[in-house]
Structure 1
Amino acid sequence: MKISKYLVQDYGVDLGTANTIITHQDTIIVNEPSIIAVDNQNRKLLAVGKEAMDMHEKTHEHIKTIKPLKDGVIADYYATEQMIRGFLQKAIHQKFFLGRKRFLICIPYATTEVEKRAVRDSAQGVGASELYMIHEPIAAAVGMGLDVTQAEGKMVVDIGGGTTEIVILSLSGIVCSQSLRVAGNTFDTDIIDYVRRNYNLLIGERTAEKIKIEAGAVLDDLDNPPPPLKIVGRDLMTGIPKAVSITHHDVVNMLDKSISKIIEGILHTLEVCPPELAADVYDYGIYLTGGGAYLRGLDKRISRITKLKVKIAPEPLLSVMKGVDICLKNLDKNKHLLLN
């Protein structure tokens, strides 16, 4: 019996440390934080995504929030399986979906075989009949409209939640790369530590992320600086809630060390790049993508140090998923970009 093509349901999945995006038939059906809330006694899933994030750092002893991914890879595959299942059920409003499920999942370039196996186990746990994987930087490049099949060097810097992937692409492959465990989550930790040291104030991850998004900057001399941001935390001296005002100049100091590490990684990748590809990078410049690309002044700071053009993707958070959708549309044609 011939199976109709309509009974094969294609899903593109970007399992990010901070956010998970799932597409189906060119439509984003999930774009939510990578977190779940479970009952501590029986591990029953209580909430997933935004609902679970609303509970984060506000739970009592019977409820636990879990972030299943760490540094861009699966740290808890059972929780990851629960999360993907919860997202799919949320999106299609039913437990079982007609037809076979075919998944294309993005993974960091530095993923180990053990980590790939965790991805496979999680996908099989939610009923995947076919599974393909693609490296995130390649998917991001395709999503930005770059032709990665040509013998031309393209440099992509993908700053995600758990990792920063710095790669130079040519002929559908990665020629040289650097994977850093310095990214969005590191920025949050930097902000929490700085506020504790300089303001004697204890804040949580959600407040740190708010500072990063609303006042985040890596240069003092911005054309359109964001206004000061009022935040509330717990005074470490008195234990009483206290409000302070954070400026973008403060955030520049908070993130300076981590941003310097990312720029060092870019410089190191350029140092080991073959000279002919280095010439291409000089012509085309550096492409920035991922959530970290939204940091105000990052493109200018990188450009000042490298003396190269720096371009930000049109939609940095969606570059990877756009690339996944393009690959899913012509799976046979693009199989050379996928992993075995």
Structure 2
Amino acid sequence: MASFLETLAKKFSLFSSDIGIDLGTATVLVYVKGKGVVLNEPSVVAVDKVSGKILSVGAEAQKMLGRTPGNIIAIRPLREGVISDYEMTERMIKEFIRKVQGFRLFKPNVVICVPSIITEVEERAVIDAGTQAGAKRVFLIEEPVAAAIGAGIDIAKPNGNMVVDIGGGTTDVAVISLGGIVESTSIKIAGDKFDEAIVKYVRRKHNALIGERTAEQIKKTIGCVYPRTEEVSMEVKGRCLMTGLPRTFSVNSTEVLDALEEVSASIVEAIHWVIERTPPELTGDISTNGIVMTGGGSLIWGFDKLVASKTGIPTHIADEAISCVAYGTGNCLENLSGMQDGTMNLSRQRQMMQ
């Protein structure tokens, strides 16, 4: 009877593949075992306030941000790297799992990334959300560890490597050796703060109001944290604070550099803080190996140049920086026996990765 059920399940693809989730403040990436990264969508949920029904999730919901009527709200259920709306996060994860798996007879094991500094309450919230969303078992892995693995670093060796993962809500800085984190910090300053800084700057300098999506577009198009060799500019549409009417004006890269200076300085300060507390032997390794930057925030023009100039350590941005954490979770899916329910046992990471 058991063999018959297995044959039937295989025939109709009812077995679930284990999945890894990079549960980001701005974006969710899902890695399916044997298939790679199959989903990359914004962490946004659109809900009907009257019925409580989810109208859309991901890219479709993002289009509704700032454009919904009174009975519909488009929200981001994660803020600064942690769950701010538990129910919406659970429903969002459930919808993404359904998108990548469809109907399956058996529940999947799920590996979810979390910031390197997370409280037990925040950790439990992630585990419960994953379980309620349909996971058989939930495992957690620190984002810098997953990012290092996804960037192709062999973390099992007795060799120091520094990873700077700049996401949407948090920036994680960690020194990794022998499969574990030696020194780390996690600050709630990342991509969202860059967007906020641009909104504030435009309001102060141009006396105009722009939305988060427009600020993000400015950041991606002409944003920089290190002086460009040639200045670039773009046309921006906003609302004039004097007249209340629509207005089009020009913003250049030098202005954006000024706007982002304070936020980028905070991230550089966090990197300094970790280096100062790293054992001398590992500091020497980092000087040789350089600093690896991952995450969407690292793609702002000149970030690697800024870090290198401020630390004196060679710095480079990982290939496929946005997907590094997701690929790291995918690597862990191959070694679930080396992980404990609910969390990763850091003391066993070295054996797990060998």
Same topology, TM > 0.5: yes
Indicate which of 14, 20, 23 corresponds to 2:28: 20
How far off is 1:243 after superposition? 0.7
Cα deviation, 1:194-232, whole Å, max 9, x if unaligned, reads: 00000000000100000011111111233xx57311110
CA distance in 1, matches of 2:66, 2:339: 42
Letter in 2 for 1:173: G
Say which SS state the counterpart of residue 147 (structure 1) adopts. Answer: coil
Letter in 1 for 2:121: V
Alignment of 1:1-340 (within 5 A): 7-25=15-33, 26-92=35-101, 94=102, 96-222=103-229, 225=230, 227-332=232-337, 339=344
TM-score normalised according to structure 2 size: 0.90
Quick check: 18-27 or 256-265, which moved more? 18-27
CA distance in 2, matches of 1:100, 1:136: 24
Say which SS state the counterpart of residue 337 (structure 2) adopts. Answer: coil
CA distance in 2, matches of 1:261, 1:109: 18
Equivalent pairs, count: 335
CA distance in 2, matches of 1:334, 1:307: 37
Unaligned runs of 5+ in 2: 346-354
CA distance in 2, matches of 1:157, 1:56: 29
Letter in 2 for 1:12: G
8 Å CA contact 1:101, 1:129 repeated in 2: yes
8 Å CA contact 1:22, 1:28 repeated in 2: yes
Cα deviation, 1:85-143, whole Å, max 9, x if unaligned, reads: 22233334x4x322221101111111111111111111111221111111010000001
How far off is 1:8 after superposition? 4.4
8 Å CA contact 2:234, 2:252 repeated in 1: yes
Letter in 1 for 2:24: G
8 Å CA contact 1:37, 1:48 repeated in 2: yes
How far off is 1:47 after superposition? 0.8
8 Å CA contact 2:139, 2:340 repeated in 1: no
How far off is 1:42 after superposition? 2.2
CA distance in 1, matches of 2:30, 2:156: 26
Q: 1:88 to 1:335 in 2, by over 3 A?
A: closer
Letter in 2 for 1:22: V
Letter in 1 for 2:319: P
CA distance in 2, matches of 1:150, 1:193: 45
CA distance in 2, matches of 1:333, 1:91: 25
CA distance in 2, matches of 1:195, 1:34: 26
8 Å CA contact 1:214, 1:226 repeated in 2: no
Letter in 2 for 1:179: S
CA distance in 2, matches of 1:323, 1:102: 15
TM-score normalised according to structure 1 size: 0.94
Cα deviation, 1:20-49, whole Å, max 9, x if unaligned, reads: 011213332321000100001122101111
CA distance in 2, matches of 1:320, 1:108: 11
CA distance in 2, matches of 1:212, 1:105: 28
- Superposed CA RMSD in Å reads 1.9
Q: Percent identity?
A: 42
CA distance in 2, matches of 1:226, 1:16: 32
